[in-house]
Structure 1
Amino acid sequence: MLFCLRGLTRRRMWKTKALAFSFWAINIGLALMVLLSLLPIGLMQTWASVEHGTWYARSAEFMSRGIIDTFVWLRTVGDTIFAVGALALGWFILGLKTGWSFTDEELPYARDGGSPVK
């Protein structure tokens, strides 16, 4: 997406502070989703399916246990951080449209006719 946006926007340098924040927030949010919720629930389901069968690991009885509810709610930590990163990315893209995500400096390859290869 950013590769395409680079070609579709003005030939000015980007202010990348919001973009860097977005990158880290989205990746940290995804990691927390996996580590705090998806992985523990998946491991618990794997253990339950080995001991009792797949039918039990996918049953409402298993999924309505208190510990599963706790892990489901823990996912909101990662979801929230991910959402903040997505909003920061949207803010950066809106800035490309309105101009506040650009510096006054021209891209190096924009001076010689647009070719990045000399």
Structure 2
Amino acid sequence: MKKEWKTGPLKFACWAINIGLILMVLLSLLPIGLMQTWASVKHGMWYARFATFMSRDIVSTFVWMRIIGDTIFALGGLALAWFIIGLKTGWSLTKERVG
């Protein structure tokens, strides 16, 4: 008797992890990286890594915006863990016979 996976949690995990990563990059890492690149070209690498640059309000805003992507990513990770635990306990498998 073969059983199939219930793919709902797995589909959610896949989409949530990928969307979370995209949001982390687009809402935080890319804008801060571009700001640091511009600052390093204009003033030098030391300025772009200096504490006063990193503690500016706009940089802090972008750092906090990363929480959106982090949260979605974490939900995807939890869904994946739930699915894997379900494989071990059986609730992620169908009770139907395949084939």
TM-score range for the pair, normalised by the shorter chain length: over 0.9
CA RMSD after TM alignment: 1.4
Structure 2, unaligned runs of 5 or more: none
- Scaled by the length of structure 2, what TM-score is found? 0.95
Distance 2:73 2:52 in 1: 30
1:84 aligns to 2:75 (yes or no): yes
Match for residue 99 of structure 1?
A: 90
Query: Residue in 1 aligned with 2:58?
Result: 67
Aligned to 1:21: 12
Greater relative contact order structure (CA < 8 Å, 6+ sep):
2
Spell out structure 1 runs of 4+ moving beyond 2 A.
Answer: 104-108
Which TM-score applies when normalising by structure 1? 0.80
Alignment partner for residue 34 of structure 2, among 20, 24, 43?
A: 43
Q: Percent of aligned pairs with the same residue?
A: 71
Cα deviation for residue 61 of structure 1 reads 1.0
Which consecutive unaligned segments of at least 5 residues does structure 1 have? 1-9, 109-118
Aligned partner letter, 1:21: F
Name the structure where strand makes up a greater proportion of residues: 1
Whose Rg is larger? 1
Amino acid at match of 2:81: G
| Paired residue total | 99
Partner of 1:92, secondary structure, is helix
